[in-house]
Amino acid sequence: MFNIQKNHDITPYTTFGLPARAAYYTELTCNEDLPQLCQLPEFDMHTVCWLGGGSNVLFMQDFPALVVRMATRGIREVSRSGCIVLVEAQAGEIWHDFVQTTLKMGLSGLENLSLIPGTVGASPVQNIGAYGVEVKDRIHSVQCFDIEKQAFITLSNSDCQFAYRDSFFKHEGKKRFVITAVTFALSTECMPQAQYGDLAQVLAHNCGERSPSAQDISDAVCQIRRSKLPDPAILGNVGSFYKNPIVSAELADSIQAAYPNMPRYPQDNGSVKLAAAWLIDQCSLKNYQIGGAAVHDKQALVLINKNNATADDVRALSDYICLQVKQKFAIDLHPEPVWLPEN
């Protein structure tokens, strides 16, 4: 049975904390209830908002339709073959807690993704990534409910069409599929991915000559993230506010001619990923504030809810940042979080 709340305050369910209400709100605690949920008069597959940890959404105004918060729980080992262990987690599991559980199970693979806010079910949608690892590198399959066909199905890793902060779930699969659980391929052997700049330095400091364990890597990632990224429980934010832009080698070269120390990450197809944080920082925007919204002082890619920010504050701040970066570097920044309701 669903408890449908009307005109419900959804501010606490997002990490940025813009004030917002949903016309209707409920929680899903059991995947088997999905067919029944779809029959409710308040349900419309074209307008419903499936909410995970609320760490990648901004409610820019009250939400005029149904919001369903995924609150399913459960982690289980599915199978073991040699050193590869498949582990399934339900969509509503808190991502960081799940990562810590896999480490306690003696499994390696997700340690670089420690402390990313959000839920397991949201992780494939934007293919979360940090410190040289993307979740697509560890996903075996994604379990979904197909709203059109009213059937539970499993998508393989390749079905998900993963790319940088992108997947099938942001495009063709967007309205049709609800992610119910994700199965990860993890390993009983630690294959450290520890080359990423900051991480290599912190590990060298923490571990010396000893080769780092998966838990060491997780601890170092947490240490770095805590030093740069604000804790959403204390200061509202959505992590990176923009994707790192991918530009032509020519444009990257022309900027680098003026800024020899510009960070650049070559892509397989010859294009170059630039650091949005660096671009914003070059415009001297750290600490820049409009109303209650501001650019974080330790990481220019993070916008914070400094003092009861409104959606208008966030929109004005983001417009200003994009304009400054465009004028200085001729690069368009694209937000990483989803702005709701979408037009």
Q: Beta partners for 152?
A: 145
DSSP code of 104?
H
CA 48, 52, 57, 60 dihedral sign is positive
Residue closer to ligand EPU (CB basis): 300 or 340: 300
Vertex 235 angle, CA 231 and 237, to 5°: 80
Helix, strand, coil percentages in the chain from 3-state DSSP, rounded to 5 = 30, 30, 40
Provide the 10 A C-beta neighbour count for residue 329. 22
**Distance in angstroms (rounded) separating the CA atoms of residues 48 and 53:** 16
- C-alpha distance across the termini of the chain, in Å: 31
**Residue 93 a catalytic site member:** no
Residue 43 binding ligand EPU, by CB under 6 A:
no
Smallest distance, Å, CB 242 to ligand EPU? 6
Number of chain positions touching ligand EPU (CB under 6 A) = 15
Identify which range of 8-16, 177-185, 248-256, 277-285 contacts ligand EPU by CB under 6 A: 277-285
Residue closer to ligand EPU (CB basis): 17 or 239: 239
Q: Which of 2, 152, 278, 320 touches ligand EPU (CB under 6 A)?
A: 278
Q: Which of 146, 152, 336, 341 touches ligand EPU (CB under 6 A)?
A: 336
Smallest distance, Å, CB 198 to ligand EPU? 6
Residue with the two structure tokens 């979740």: 135
Residue closer to ligand EPU (CB basis): 170 or 243: 243
Smallest distance, Å, CB 278 to ligand EPU? 4
Could you say which residues in the range 114-143 bind ligand EPU, by CB under 6 A? 130-131
Residue closer to ligand EPU (CB basis): 33 or 336: 336
Residue closer to ligand EPU (CB basis): 76 or 228: 228
**Distance in angstroms (rounded) separating the CA atoms of residues 21 and 19:** 7
**Distance in angstroms (rounded) separating the CA atoms of residues 118 and 122:** 7
Residue closer to ligand EPU (CB basis): 40 or 200: 200
Residue closer to ligand EPU (CB basis): 131 or 177: 131
DSSP code of 298?
S
Identify the active-site residue in 114, 167, 240, 318.
240
Smallest distance, Å, CB 316 to ligand EPU? 21
Q: Which amino acid is at 91?
A: A
Q: How many CA atoms lie within 13 A of 16 on its CB side?
A: 30
**Distance in angstroms (rounded) separating the CA atoms of residues 24 and 26:** 7
**Residue 336 a catalytic site member:** yes
Smallest distance, Å, CB 296 to ligand EPU? 8
Q: Which of 19, 106, 263, 335 touches ligand EPU (CB under 6 A)?
A: 263
**Residue 226 a catalytic site member:** no
Identify the active-site residue in 111, 165, 167, 218.
165
Q: Which of 202, 277, 303, 311 touches ligand EPU (CB under 6 A)?
A: 277
Q: What distances in angstroms separate CA 314 from CA 276, 292, 305, 306, 308, one per listed residue?
A: 17, 8, 9, 11, 11
Q: Within its chain, how far is the Cα of 156 from the centroid?
A: 20
Q: What distances in angstroms separate CA 319 from CA 37, 241, 247, 334, 339, one per listed residue?
A: 38, 12, 20, 11, 14
Could you say which residues in the range 230-249 bind ligand EPU, by CB under 6 A? 239-240, 243-244
Which residues belong to the active site? 165, 240, 336
Binding region for ligand EPU (CB under 6 A): 130-131, 239-240, 243-244, 263, 275, 277-278, 281, 299-301, 336
